[in-house]
Amino acid sequence: MNMRGFIQILTRDLKVALRRWSELCNPLIFFLIVASLFPLAISPEASDLKEVGTGVLWISALLSSLLALDGLFRDDAEDGSMEQLVLSPVPLTIIIAAKILAHWLITGLPLVVIAPVIALSYYMPVDALTTLILALILATPTLSVLGAIGAALTVGLRRGGPIVGLLVLPLTGPVLIFGTLATDLAVQGESAAGPLYLLGALLALAVVLGPLATSAAVRVSLE
Amino acid sequence: MNLRWFYKLASPPYFYRLAGTLGPWLGGLSIALIVAGAYGGLVLAPPDYLQGDGFRMIYVHVPSAYLGMMAYVVMATAAAIGFIWRIKLAHAVAVSAAPLGASFTFLGLVTGAIWGKPMWGTFWQWSDARLVFFLVLFFLYMGYLALREVTEDRDKADRLSAVLAVVGVINIPIIHYSVEWWTTLHQGPTITRLDGPSITMDMLAPLLVMIAGFSVFFVWLLFVRLQGEILVREQKSRWTQELMQRGRV
Query: What local confidence, expressed as pLDDT, does residue B13 receive?
Result: 82
Residue B3 lies in a domain: no
Residue A191 burial (CB < 10 Å; 0-12/13-18/19+)?
exposed
pLDDT tier at B85, thresholds 50, 70, 90: confident
Mean pLDDT of B211-239: 90
Q: Do B59 and B37 form a contact (C-beta atoms < 8 A)? A: yes
Q: Mean of the per-residue pLDDT values for chain B? A: 84
Give the number of beta-carbon pairs within 8 Å between A and B: 61
Residue B9 lies in a domain: no
Residue B7 lies in a domain: no
SS (H, E, C) B19-34: HHHHHHHHHHHHHHHH
Task: Express each pLDDT in B32-64 by its tens digit.
Answer: 999 998 888 888 777 776 677 777 888 888 899
Pairwise CB contact (< 8 Å): B147 & A217: no
Task: Express each pLDDT in A134-150 by its tens digit.
Answer: 999 999 999 999 999 99
How far apart (Å, rounded) are the C-alpha atoms in residues B129 and B171? 12
Instruction: DSSP for A118-134, please give it.
Output: HHHHTT--GGGHHHHHH
Chain A residue closest to B152 (CA)? A157
Q: Do B20 and B227 form a contact (C-beta atoms < 8 A)? A: yes
- Alpha carbons within 13 angstroms on the beta-carbon side of residue B229 total 23
At residue B52, φ and ψ (nearest 5 deg) are: 65, -135
Nearest of A180, A177, A181, A183 to residue A132 by alpha carbon: A183
Pairwise CB contact (< 8 Å): A174 & B160: no
Residue B4 lies in a domain: no
Distance from CA of A21 to the nearest CA of B (A): 31
Residue B155 lies in a domain: yes
How far apart (Å, rounded) are the C-alpha atoms in residues A144 and A105? 10
In angstroms, the Cα distances linking B118 to A86, A180, B213 are 57, 31, 27
Residue B2 lies in a domain: no
pTM: 0.87
Chain CA centroid to CA A135, Å: 13
For the cut 60, the answer to whether the pLDDT of residue B194 exceeds it is no
Distance from CA of A200 to the nearest CA of B (A): 16
Q: Which structural domain, as residue segments, surrounds residue B57?
A: 22-245
| Chain B contacts in chain A segment 143-182 (CB below 8 A) | 149, 153-154, 156-157, 159-160, 163, 166-167, 169-171, 173-174
Distance from CA of B168 to the nearest CA of A (A): 7
